[in-house]
Amino acid sequence: MVSLYLVYKIYGQGQKIGTADTIQAAFKHMWKMQFRDGDKYRGKWHFNPTTAAWEGNPIDSAKVQDTMAAIKNKCGKDGGDRKHSLAMSEEFMSRMFAWSEEQCPASKYEGKSTTVEEQSLKTKHLAFKCFASTSWIIWSRLQSIQHTIFRATTDESEGMAKTGLINLTKKLIFEVYTAYLTRCGKFKICAQSGLPACDSFSWMTRWVKYLEESPLEPEDYIFPATGANGIVQTGENISHDDVQKWITEFASGADLPRANGTY
């Protein structure tokens, strides 16, 4: 009954985790005090084979504990005290990209910047869209994407040349190297017009074109460090701190749950 009551209060009435904690504590105290003269409702919840009955405080039962765990997870997603990062959904990606479009419309990506501020804003928003969509589509962690390098190769098996990362068959082919591994992962990514916020191919195409305003070398980074003036430094990969600043800014701007503000 306690488990059902908790579900009703939190899921049915939309109460927060504090309400669940209060209910749990109140019932635990009630059983502890009301039946303090006996042993049946005291101590750890367990089955007594001698009496063929359950003993201990019912609040410590697996059912109530599982319900509380589910409630804490639910409340964490809604902006509670969740301590670990929350997986980024397609909906949240769309909200971040919509906020980005308000701050720096995609139409501004083309052409020369007239001020340092415009250059910096344009670089940040385009780089983030490429970084976020690529991370999302291949479900990769920062340590991998952070060290992606530029490669100009020819794929003889498909009978066509690739300039940088872009394949003429509308597939994105690139290699991801990590700082601690010598091997790499190779990914083929197709355009996904139906998921614009997760369309790594389209955003990578735009970003590489933007980077190639200055010729890229084979060992240059796709996600390079950026100076305060918005000028990219392709020989140096972006830092973890800078990516975290991006995520915090974009998640906050899109009003996402706090747990989406970590990586």
User: pLDDT tens digits, residue range 135-172?
Assistant: 887 765 444 455 555 443 434 344 333 333 333 233 44
**pLDDT tens, residue by residue, 110-120:** 878 888 899 89
Q: What pLDDT band is residue 40 in, cutting at 50, 70 and 90?
A: low
* pLDDT exceeds 50 at position 77: no
Report the percentage of the chain scoring pLDDT > 90.
12
Buried b or exposed e, range 122-151, using 16+ CB within 10 angstroms = bbbbbbbbbbbbbbbbbebebebbbbbbbb
**pLDDT tens, residue by residue, 192-244:** 888 899 888 889 888 888 888 888 776 777 888 888 777 888 888 888 888 88
Residue with tokens 């976020």: 132
Tokens of 15: 């109460």
Q: Identify the pLDDT of residue 96.
A: 95
- The neighbouring-strand residues paired with 186 are 175
0.85 cut: is pTM over it?
no
Neighbours of 252 (CB within 10 A): 14
Tokens of 145: 């994407």
- Cα torsion angle, 80, 245, 121, 212, sign: negative
Find the mean pLDDT for residues 89-114: 89
How are strands ordered across the β-sheet holding 166-167?
A: 166-167, 171-177, 184-190
